[in-house]
Amino acid sequence: MTRTLSAGALPALLLLALPCVAATVPASMSQGALVEATVPAGSTATVNGKSVHVGADGMLVFGAGRDEKGPITVVVTRPDGQRDTTRIAVTARAWPVERVNGVPPKTVNPPPDIAARIQREQAEVAAARQRDDEREDFAQGFIWPVKGRISGRFGSQRIFNGTPKSPHPGMDIAVPEGTPVKAPASGIVTFAKPGLYLTGGTVLIDHGFGVSSNFLHLSRLNVKVGQHVQQGEVIGAAGMTGRATGPHLHWGVNWFEVRLDPMLLQGIEGTSPH
């Protein structure tokens, strides 16, 4: 029962067949990629020393962040006690620089009281990302939540009104205000609030095993915390609430706190959501 691995459509992906029992852990992965691997059912596993879920079917999942240098060490302990250690090389990517002008100045350099509010809101969102469910909704693959022109790429170094900011943690897809946003994979809503200072209308969906999506700048929210959503179900509408210079959907994907590139997800067809 080997399962197809996905680290995005990456040429460097090699499958390393471990001896004896079918276990698949890739030999390399790309920065920003999510990898699904299969190990013998009943195994336990750690990724860089952190215990991760192994599903009843032997599925495990992990991601590499934008600045991950690797190698990522995966240790699998089989039911019979045999231990396999795989060091996964991480392929570096070149990150574009994106200059965005016309951003409202009070959102680029917020005053102290606003900075405190932003910190509070971000802590609340970060807490929602700690959920570690046995559900394998991520394994069904992902569809585009909206279709349109990509107006911002994951990982780009952003310069707002001339001030360098942290790298872009997701991808932006330019769509008209009010465009329905669909759940890219099934899951449970772990956060749903309008009016966050930077991100405006904000929804998080947990897809299981620490994999989650976030949807920002929404003009409308159709879901509540705790609600189960199916892939393709409308969760809200795109807008430009929070820090945005035009209507678009910001879609981010995480493995716990590690931010990933949605374009590298399993099932996402092609390289653009047109």
User: What is the closest distance, in whole angstroms, from the C-beta atom of residue 172 to Zn ion in the complex?
Assistant: 4
Nearest to 187, CA basis, from 139, 123, 146, 148? 139
Task: List, in sequence order, every residue forming a beta bridge with 42; answer none if it has no partner.
Answer: none
User: What is the closest distance, in whole angstroms, from the C-beta atom of residue 131 to Zn ion in the complex?
Assistant: 22
Q: Count CB-CB contacts under 10 A for residue 208.
A: 23
Interacting positions 233-252 with Zn ion (CB under 5 A):
250
Q: Which is nearer to Zn ion, 78 or 250 (CB)?
A: 250
Total residues in contact with Zn ion, by rule CB under 5 A = 3
Q: Check if the beta carbon of residue 106 is closer than 8 Å to that of residue 114.
A: yes
Backbone angles phi, psi at 237, to 5 degrees: -130, 145
Q: Check if the beta carbon of residue 217 is closer than 8 Å to that of residue 250.
A: yes
Q: Which is nearer to Zn ion, 152 or 167 (CB)?
A: 152
Q: Which is nearer to Zn ion, 43 or 219 (CB)?
A: 219
| H or E segment and range at residue 160 | strand 157-160
Q: Which is nearer to Zn ion, 3 or 165 (CB)?
A: 165
Interacting positions 118-177 with Zn ion (CB under 5 A):
152, 172
Query: Both tokens of residue 249?
Result: 């959907």
User: What is the closest distance, in whole angstroms, from the C-beta atom of residue 273 to Zn ion in the complex?
Assistant: 14
Q: Which is nearer to Zn ion, 18 or 95 (CB)?
A: 95
Q: Which is nearer to Zn ion, 71 or 152 (CB)?
A: 152
Three-state DSSP state, 96? coil
Backbone angles phi, psi at 90, to 5 degrees: -110, 120
Q: What angle do CA 51, 87, 81 make, to 5 degrees?
A: 55
User: What is the closest distance, in whole angstroms, from the C-beta atom of residue 250 to Zn ion in the complex?
Assistant: 3
Three-state DSSP state, 5? coil
User: What is the closest distance, in whole angstroms, from the C-beta atom of residue 77 to Zn ion in the complex?
Assistant: 39
Interacting positions 249-268 with Zn ion (CB under 5 A):
250
- Taking CB positions, which residue lies at the least distance from Zn ion? 250
Interacting positions 172-211 with Zn ion (CB under 5 A):
172
User: What is the closest distance, in whole angstroms, from the C-beta atom of residue 65 to Zn ion in the complex?
Assistant: 17
Backbone angles phi, psi at 186, to 5 degrees: -65, 165
The residues of the shown chain that bind Zn ion, judged by CB under 5 A, are 152, 172, 250
